[in-house]
Amino acid sequence: MIKIKRVLVSTDFSEAAAKALPYAASLAQEYKAELHVVHVVEDSLYYAQFVYDGAPFDPTVLIEGLVADRKKRLEEVLKGLPSGLKVTTHLRRGVVASEIIASAGELDADVVVIATHGRTGLSHLIFGSVAERVVRECPCPVLTVREKAHGMIANGNAGKK
Protein backbone atom coordinates (compact mmCIF):
# COMPACT_ATOMS: atom_id res chain seq x y z
CA MET A 1 0.00 0.00 0.00
CA ILE A 2 1.31 3.43 -0.91
CA LYS A 3 1.51 5.93 1.94
CA ILE A 4 1.75 9.55 0.96
CA LYS A 5 2.17 12.08 3.77
CA ARG A 6 3.71 14.99 1.86
CA VAL A 7 3.08 16.10 -1.71
CA LEU A 8 5.33 18.77 -3.18
CA VAL A 9 4.27 20.74 -6.24
CA SER A 10 6.37 23.36 -7.94
CA THR A 11 4.94 26.39 -9.66
CA ASP A 12 6.37 29.01 -11.93
CA PHE A 13 2.88 30.56 -12.30
CA SER A 14 2.64 29.40 -15.92
CA GLU A 15 -0.40 27.77 -17.53
CA ALA A 16 1.44 24.45 -17.41
CA ALA A 17 2.04 24.80 -13.66
CA ALA A 18 -1.62 25.71 -13.18
CA LYS A 19 -2.48 22.31 -14.68
CA ALA A 20 -0.13 20.46 -12.30
CA LEU A 21 -1.58 22.03 -9.14
CA PRO A 22 -4.96 20.20 -9.24
CA TYR A 23 -3.15 16.87 -9.59
CA ALA A 24 -1.06 17.64 -6.52
CA ALA A 25 -4.09 18.87 -4.57
CA SER A 26 -6.07 15.76 -5.55
CA LEU A 27 -3.26 13.48 -4.38
CA ALA A 28 -2.96 15.38 -1.11
CA GLN A 29 -6.72 15.22 -0.59
CA GLU A 30 -6.96 11.52 -1.44
CA TYR A 31 -4.16 10.56 0.94
CA LYS A 32 -4.94 13.21 3.59
CA ALA A 33 -1.42 14.47 3.02
CA GLU A 34 0.23 17.85 3.42
CA LEU A 35 0.60 19.89 0.25
CA HIS A 36 3.78 21.93 -0.15
CA VAL A 37 3.72 24.53 -2.94
CA VAL A 38 7.22 25.61 -3.95
CA HIS A 39 8.25 28.54 -6.12
CA VAL A 40 11.87 29.30 -6.91
CA VAL A 41 13.13 32.76 -7.80
CA GLU A 42 16.12 32.21 -10.04
CA ASP A 43 18.03 35.34 -9.16
CA SER A 44 21.44 34.43 -10.55
CA LEU A 45 20.53 36.15 -13.81
CA TYR A 46 20.02 39.43 -12.01
CA TYR A 47 23.42 39.59 -10.35
CA ALA A 48 25.16 40.88 -13.44
CA GLN A 49 26.47 44.41 -13.02
CA PHE A 50 23.90 46.90 -14.28
CA VAL A 51 24.66 50.53 -15.06
CA TYR A 52 21.86 53.07 -15.15
CA ASP A 53 22.56 56.70 -16.02
CA GLY A 54 26.27 56.15 -15.48
CA ALA A 55 25.80 54.81 -11.91
CA PRO A 56 25.93 51.14 -10.95
CA PHE A 57 22.50 49.68 -10.33
CA ASP A 58 22.11 47.41 -7.32
CA PRO A 59 20.15 44.35 -8.51
CA THR A 60 19.12 43.47 -4.93
CA VAL A 61 16.40 46.14 -5.23
CA LEU A 62 15.04 44.31 -8.25
CA ILE A 63 15.30 40.95 -6.48
CA GLU A 64 13.49 42.23 -3.37
CA GLY A 65 10.63 43.51 -5.52
CA LEU A 66 10.48 40.22 -7.40
CA VAL A 67 10.39 38.20 -4.17
CA ALA A 68 7.58 40.39 -2.77
CA ASP A 69 5.61 39.91 -6.00
CA ARG A 70 6.11 36.14 -5.95
CA LYS A 71 4.93 35.91 -2.32
CA LYS A 72 1.67 37.59 -3.37
CA ARG A 73 1.32 35.28 -6.35
CA LEU A 74 1.81 32.22 -4.13
CA GLU A 75 -1.04 33.45 -1.92
CA GLU A 76 -3.22 33.84 -5.04
CA VAL A 77 -2.48 30.24 -6.05
CA LEU A 78 -3.78 29.02 -2.68
CA LYS A 79 -7.19 30.60 -3.27
CA GLY A 80 -8.05 27.99 -5.89
CA LEU A 81 -7.27 25.00 -3.69
CA PRO A 82 -9.91 22.91 -1.91
CA SER A 83 -10.71 23.95 1.64
CA GLY A 84 -9.52 21.69 4.44
CA LEU A 85 -6.25 20.95 2.70
CA LYS A 86 -3.14 21.52 4.81
CA VAL A 87 -1.00 23.72 2.53
CA THR A 88 2.39 25.30 3.12
CA THR A 89 4.09 27.61 0.65
CA HIS A 90 7.84 27.83 0.16
CA LEU A 91 9.62 30.62 -1.67
CA ARG A 92 13.22 29.74 -2.46
CA ARG A 93 16.01 31.41 -4.36
CA GLY A 94 18.56 29.68 -6.55
CA VAL A 95 18.65 27.31 -9.51
CA VAL A 96 15.11 26.05 -10.05
CA ALA A 97 15.73 22.31 -10.48
CA SER A 98 18.29 22.21 -7.64
CA GLU A 99 15.92 23.99 -5.26
CA ILE A 100 12.98 21.71 -6.10
CA ILE A 101 15.16 18.65 -5.53
CA ALA A 102 16.53 20.11 -2.27
CA SER A 103 12.99 20.94 -1.11
CA ALA A 104 11.85 17.38 -1.77
CA GLY A 105 14.71 16.05 0.34
CA GLU A 106 14.38 18.58 3.16
CA LEU A 107 10.60 18.13 3.41
CA ASP A 108 10.87 14.35 3.06
CA ALA A 109 8.31 14.55 0.24
CA ASP A 110 6.70 11.30 -0.83
CA VAL A 111 5.94 12.56 -4.34
CA VAL A 112 6.73 15.65 -6.42
CA VAL A 113 4.28 16.95 -9.00
CA ILE A 114 5.81 19.13 -11.72
CA ALA A 115 4.62 20.53 -15.02
CA THR A 116 6.50 20.06 -18.25
CA HIS A 117 6.53 22.90 -20.74
CA GLY A 118 7.17 20.64 -23.71
CA ARG A 119 10.16 22.55 -25.06
CA THR A 120 11.98 20.91 -27.91
CA GLY A 121 14.81 21.72 -30.23
CA LEU A 122 16.79 24.90 -29.68
CA SER A 123 14.71 26.20 -26.76
CA HIS A 124 15.23 22.88 -24.94
CA LEU A 125 18.95 23.08 -25.65
CA ILE A 126 19.21 26.68 -24.40
CA PHE A 127 16.83 26.55 -21.43
CA GLY A 128 17.16 22.88 -20.57
CA SER A 129 14.42 21.05 -18.82
CA VAL A 130 13.75 21.60 -15.15
CA ALA A 131 11.29 18.69 -15.10
CA GLU A 132 13.80 16.36 -16.76
CA ARG A 133 16.47 17.13 -14.17
CA VAL A 134 13.99 16.79 -11.29
CA VAL A 135 12.86 13.39 -12.59
CA ARG A 136 16.49 12.22 -12.87
CA GLU A 137 17.74 13.49 -9.50
CA CYS A 138 14.78 13.71 -7.13
CA PRO A 139 14.91 11.45 -4.06
CA CYS A 140 11.23 10.46 -4.47
CA PRO A 141 8.82 9.60 -7.29
CA VAL A 142 7.89 12.45 -9.64
CA LEU A 143 4.58 12.88 -11.42
CA THR A 144 4.97 15.02 -14.52
CA VAL A 145 1.96 16.83 -15.94
CA ARG A 146 2.20 17.80 -19.57
CA GLU A 147 1.27 21.31 -20.59
CA LYS A 148 -1.29 19.75 -22.91
CA ALA A 149 -2.64 17.36 -20.28
CA HIS A 150 -5.84 15.62 -21.29
CA GLY A 151 -7.81 17.23 -18.48
CA MET A 152 -8.42 14.23 -16.24
CA ILE A 153 -8.99 16.57 -13.32
CA ALA A 154 -10.31 19.60 -15.16
CA ASN A 155 -13.35 17.70 -16.44
CA GLY A 156 -14.26 16.27 -13.05
CA ASN A 157 -13.08 12.70 -13.61
CA ALA A 158 -10.37 12.69 -10.94
CA GLY A 159 -10.85 10.13 -8.24
CA LYS A 160 -13.90 8.47 -9.85
CA LYS A 161 -13.79 4.70 -10.03
Mean pLDDT of the chain: 82
What is the reported pTM?
0.81
Answer whether 54's CB lies under 8 Å from 24's CB.
no
Please tell me what DSSP assigns to residue 159: T
Per-residue pLDDT tens over the stretch 114-144: 998 765 555 444 445 888 899 999 999 999 9
State phi, psi for 129 to the nearest 5 degrees.
-135, 110
Per-residue pLDDT tens over the stretch 36-67: 999 999 866 555 555 555 566 666 777 788 88
Domains contained in the chain, CATH given:
6-146 (3.40.50.620)
For every residue of 51-109, DSSP letters joined together read EETTEEE-HHHHHHHHHHHHHHHHHHHHTTSPTT--EEEEEEES-HHHHHHHHHHHHT-
